[in-house]
């Protein structure tokens, strides 16, 4: 026997000694994976439905003649940029001495004070109160009927500040307010 034959016999002998493993089909149970998939789908459906954006109703005036408001119930807010606001009651004085500059916190205090002042001067009106009850509104809407808040944003007023002022109307339950353009003399005074 030569060395070549010996080598061939060794290799064939090693092959025959090797155990033959037969692979049976590996079965993976997919039921837990399907359950997990459905749980994830329901989670995302519920969370997306619950996180709807919050919106505020904005009522536009009806067409018709302009409505005059009493000077004693007028409250004007001038909205500038970077959360700057200025406000005054009644008509703007010629020298702007009744104009107050402040923050949204100071504006809230002034709105609450003005609302209390107007509600204290309320003369009961049975017709207005009956109409408010029929429309399922608060009687406080009648008590503050003389209060009119005019919101006048400047050219550089940012959207966030205007929305914050509108939020103040909602928080303080101001029944009557309007977004209007500022007068020429007011434009120089906007912060």
Residue ranges of the chain with pLDDT lower than 70?
1-24, 49-54, 56-61
Half-sphere exposure of 95 (CA within 13 A, CB side): 1
Cα 118 to Cα 1, 11, 26, 55, 129: the distances in Å are 123, 108, 82, 29, 16
Task: Give residue 37's pLDDT.
Answer: 92
Query: What pLDDT, on the 0 to 100 scale, is given for residue 63?
Result: 77
pLDDT (0 to 100) of residue 156: 86
- Phi/psi of residue 189, each to 5°? -95, -5
- The second-level CATH assignment, the architecture, of 71-187 is 2-Layer Sandwich (3.30)
Nearest to 81 by CA among 183, 160, 187: 160
Report pLDDT for 7: 54
| Cα distances (angstroms) measured from residue 23 to each of 15, 17, 26 | 18, 18, 8
pLDDT of amino acid 9: 61
* 127-153 tens-digit pLDDT: 888 888 888 888 877 888 888 899 999
Secondary structure element (H or E) that encloses residue 6, with its range: helix 3-17
């Amino acid at each position: 026997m030569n060395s070549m034959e010996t080598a061939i016999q060794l290799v064939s002998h090693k092959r025959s000694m090797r155990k033959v493993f037969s692979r049976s089909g590996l079965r993976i149970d997919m039921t837990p994976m399907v359950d997990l998939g459905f749980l994830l789908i329901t989670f995302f459906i519920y969370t997306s439905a619950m996180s709807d954006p919050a919106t505020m109703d904005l009522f536009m005036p009806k067409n018709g003649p302009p409505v005059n408001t009493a000077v004693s119930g007028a409250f004007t807010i001038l909205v500038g940029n970077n959360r700057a606001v200025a406000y005054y009651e009644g008509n703007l004085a010629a020298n702007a001495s009744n104009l107050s500059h402040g923050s949204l916190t100071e504006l809230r205090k002034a709105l609450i004070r003005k609302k209390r002042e107007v509600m204290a001067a309320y003369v009961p009106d049975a017709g207005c109160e009956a109409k408010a009850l029929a429309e399922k509104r608060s009687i406080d809407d009648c008590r503050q009927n003389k209060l009119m808040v005019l919101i006048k944003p400047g050219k550089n007023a940012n959207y966030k500040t205007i929305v914050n002022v509108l939020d103040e109307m909602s928080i303080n339950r101001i029944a009557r307010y309007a977004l209007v353009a500022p007068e020429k003399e007011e434009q120089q005074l906007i912060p």
